[in-house]
Amino acid sequence: MKKLIIIISTITFSCYGQMKSNVFYTPIELSYFKKTSLYILNEKSIMNYVLTNPVVARQVFDKNLEEFQEINSKIKFKKEECRELIINYINTKTNPTYFGVFYNINSNQKLVSIQISENSYFSKLNNDSVYYKCICLNSSLLELPEDFEEIQAEYNLPGGYLLENKEINSQSIIKKIDSIKIENFSKFNIFQFSGKTKRIKSSKSIINSSPNIPNKMYLLKGDEVEVLEEQDDWLRIRYYGKKTIEGWIKRSDIE
């Protein structure tokens, strides 16, 4: 009996590890304009090879167009690989010697980019400033057109594939990135969105600080939450409202 339990446990952990290894992330760049106490979202784009590898992109493009188009259409990466792509990208963009892949070095307009945090920076061209956040979005949250790979492969200018709201299948994420408070901008995590979202079906779902330890907060029917962790009859969730809330709710409270 003991041997059987060990075998079942081994299979369970093996399957869990395999499930985790099949999770992919897509690097997304969000551009914002500063307005009073908020950063207001301007554009959101899937970062392609031109963006994540700006120094060598032009060289590959000139040398072998077919190879460039193949690597330029890749958007799914392992967790740490996605993180490294973003960090390297921002380090490159904020390097004083970097002018951009197709930037006219003879132009009298000087583009200055300054790093804010590990995954954020701002660029200033003359008197105009744009603020950028880069995140790794769980690839399962994207609903892209069938011809996306062809579009992305052909895209050979900085900027990436512009995402529409309908191409992200989570309203909570769209709401969360739509505007960010000034004081929270640099704290916006690279892996802010794990990818698994559910809706509350109970009229009132109590949020617990840990399983069976309730607090005064609760969610209402129809609220959308992000599932971060599962533990027996409990789910650790994150809710994006006027403020971001994390806690545990009963599994039976969701659809």
Instruction: Specify the 3-state DSSP secondary structure of 169.
Output: coil
* Residue, of 58 and 233, whose pLDDT is higher: 233
Looking at mean pLDDT, say which of 4-8, 51-55, 175-179 comes out highest. Answer: 175-179
Backbone angles phi, psi at 11, to 5 degrees: -65, -40
Q: Identify the CA nearest to 207 among candidates 241, 178, 180, 172.
A: 241
Average the pLDDT over each of 42-46, 92-96, 115-119, 248-252 and give the range with the smallest value: 92-96
Strand partners, 225: 198, 239
Using 50, 70 and 90 to split pLDDT, how confident is the model at 53? confident
Please report, for residues 20, 39, 81, 157, 194, the alpha-carbon distance to residue 48 in angstroms, rounded to integers and kept in the order given: 24, 24, 14, 10, 21
Beta strand 120-125 pairing with 111-117: antiparallel
Region 99-103 average pLDDT: 51
Instruction: Specify the 3-state DSSP secondary structure of 64.
Output: coil
Decide if pLDDT at 2 tops 70: no
* Residue, of 125 and 247, whose pLDDT is higher: 247
pLDDT of 99 reads 60
* Domains, the chain, with CATH or none: 24-187 (no CATH), 197-253 (2.30.30)
- Alpha carbon 243 to chain centroid, angstroms: 19
Using 50, 70 and 90 to split pLDDT, how confident is the model at 19? very low
Amino acid at 140: S
Instruction: Specify the 3-state DSSP secondary structure of 183.
Output: helix
pLDDT of 92 reads 83
